[in-house]
Chains A and B, each alone.
Chain A
C-alpha cells in the first residue's frame, strides 16, 4: 500500500527575535492509509509544529512533504487551503465550535467553506456516529465538553477527508470522555481513515498501534 504521508528531512524554523529556532529538524516518516498514529513528546518537542506541517497549516522550510502522492512542500497558501479542505479534518484541544450555531450548523460549516450544499443525511449520520445526534439542535453552551469534542470530530469528518489530525483532543476531557473519543478514533481508523493524534496522554498513546516520539524537533522513536 502506498503511503498517505511521506515526510523526508522536513525542517521547520521559527524566528524568535533575532534568534532562529529549529522546531522540526530533518524529520522523516511515512504514514499509511488507515493508520492510527500517536505523536508524543514533552512540551516543546515539536508535536504541534509537526502536525501543523503535515496538516499544511503552515509551509515547511526544508525537506519534502508528500501527501497522497503529491508534493505539497512548495504549494502556495491558497493551494494549501484548497488541499486541506479536500484531504484533512482537524480536531484541537479547544473545540472552537461557533457558540451561536447549533451542533448541526457547526458540522455543516465545512460545506459552506467548500461552496457545497450541506447534506442533511450525511450530517445527521455523522452526529449519530459520534453519538450526539440527540444534541443536533443544541448550541455548544448547552453541551458537555465531551459532547462538544464529538461535534468537533463530526465537523472534521463532514467533507469525508481521508486524514484526521487531532492535536491534544482529550486535553480538556475527563477520563470517560477521553476513552470515548479514543474509541471513536479507533473506529474511524478501522473504517479506513488515517488518524494522527498529538498527545501528552500516556494512556491514549499507549492504546495507539503506532507511536512516534519527538524530542527537540527530532524523531527518537518511529
Chain B
C-alpha cells in the first residue's frame, strides 16, 4: 500500500463524483489545448501565408490595404484597378529588385464548369514563390494548377483543361506543400487579362527589395506613384498581430472562466469528500498519520482527478484539432490557409500540467482542512 494507492482508492469511494470532476477537467483541458493550438497555429499559418507571398511590399488599388492583403492571402479576388503602366515606374524605383504583376478573378472551369479563382502572372511570379516549384514560364495557351485543384479535377501535366470557353494545356502542377495556392489555376498574365476583360489592368503587384530591411524606405518612394496603395509585409504582419492579440485576450478571458469552473469542481468535490470522512481522517490521525501525510493524501486525490481529466481532455482536444480548425476557419471571413490549430506534445504536457497545478491550488483548502482534523474526531464522530 502506497500513499498514491490510498488516494486512488479514496477516489473510488464516490465514483460519480470522481467522474463528474474528471469530466469538468476534461472539458476545460479540451478548450485549453485548442486555445493553445489556435494561438500557435494561427500565428504559424499566418506567417507561412505571408512568407509565401515572397515579396516585401504589396502594391494594390487604393482602399483598405489590410483587407486587400487578407483577400489575397485567403485566395479571394481584388478588383482590377491597378494600371499595368505602373510596373515600369515601380521597376525603376531605387531599391526594387524584382516585380511581379498579378491579376486575379473567377471564371468557370471544366469539367463541371464551376467557378474557380484564376491567377494571371508574369514570369517573375514563380521566382518570388519558389515553394510552388513551378519553374516554367506559362505560354498564352498554357496553365499550371494548384495541387488540390489538380487532384479534384484529375488534370495532369499534358492534359487539357477548359477555362472560360477555351482549352488550355496543363504544363505544371504546384507542389503539395504550397497549400496557400492549392485551389488556384495559374495562367499567362495576358491571357488572364483577356479572359477577365481587363486588358492593361492588374489586381496587385508583388515587389521584392534588394535589401529586405530597407522595405519601409522603398515603400515610401513607391507611395509617390498615383492610384497605388503600398503596404509593407511588416506593417501588415504587425496589424494582424495586433488583431490576433486582441482575440487572444478574449480567448484568455474565456479560459480563465473555464479554469475557474474546473477549480470550483475540484474544490467542491474534495471539500465534500473531506467533510464526509471527517471521522475516518480522525482515525488516520489517531493511528499516527501526520498532518503532512493527510494533506498529501487529499492533494493526491485532486491531482489524480486532474490527471485523468487532463489526459482525457488532451486526447480529445488533439483528435478534435483538425475539425475545430475547419470549423473556426469557416466561421472567419478571412483566414490563412492550412490548419490554424497546431498542437504538439509540449502543448499536451502544458495543458495537463496546468490543470494539475490548478487542481493543487483548488484542493489546498480542503486538504488543509483535512490535515487539521483532530484525532478526537474519530471518537466523537457520530
Which A residues lie at the B interface, using CB under 8 A?
48, 51-52, 55, 57-58, 77-78, 81-82, 84-86, 89-90, 92, 94, 96, 98-101, 105, 108-114, 118, 155-156, 159, 167
The answer to whether B288 and A110 touch across the interface, beta carbons within 8 angstroms, is yes
The answer to whether A92 and B378 touch across the interface, beta carbons within 8 angstroms, is yes
Interface residue tally on B, bucketed by range: 20 to 34
Instruction: Pick the residue among A92, A105, A114 that contacts B288 (CB under 8 A).
Output: A114
Binds A, one of B7-15, B97-105, B161-169, B210-218: B7-15
Interface residues of B in 341-382 (CB under 8 A from A): 374-376, 378-382
Beyond A98-B9, A112-B6, 12 additional pairs, beta carbon < 8 A: A48-B380, A51-B379, A84-B286, A84-B375, A85-B288, A90-B287, A94-B378, A96-B279, A105-B9, A108-B1, A113-B284, A113-B289
Q: Is the interface of B mostly helix, strand, loop or mixed?
A: helix
Which 6 residue pairs are nearest across A and B when measured between Cβ atoms? A85-B288, A96-B283, A100-B9, A113-B289, A57-B375, A90-B286
Q: Is the interface of A mostly helix, strand, loop or mixed?
A: helix
The answer to whether A52 and B379 touch across the interface, beta carbons within 8 angstroms, is yes
The answer to whether A58 and B10 touch across the interface, beta carbons within 8 angstroms, is no
Closest to B282 in A: A96
Within the assembled complex, what's the spacing in Å between the Cα atoms of A108 and B3? 12
In whole Å, how far is A100's beta carbon from the nearest beta carbon of chain B? Answer: 4
Complex contacts, A98 vs chain B, CB 8 Å? 6, 9-10, 280
A-B contact count (CB 8 A): 85
Do A100 and B13 form a contact, CB below 8 Å, given A90-B378, A110-B287, A167-B379?
Answer: yes
Closest to A114 in B: B288
Complex contacts, A159 vs chain B, CB 8 Å? 288
Instruction: Pick the residue among B13, B280, B288 that contacts A113 (CB under 8 A).
Output: B288
Complex contacts, A92 vs chain B, CB 8 Å? 283, 378-379
Do A118 and B1 form a contact, CB below 8 Å, given A58-B374, A113-B284?
Answer: yes
Q: Is B93 an interface residue (CB 8 A)?
A: no
Within the assembled complex, what's the spacing in Å between the Cα atoms of A167 and B2? 29
Interface residues of B in 232-281 (CB under 8 A from A): 279-280
Complex contacts, B51 vs chain A, CB 8 Å? none
Do A112 and B3 form a contact, CB below 8 Å, given A81-B288, A84-B286, A100-B13?
Answer: yes
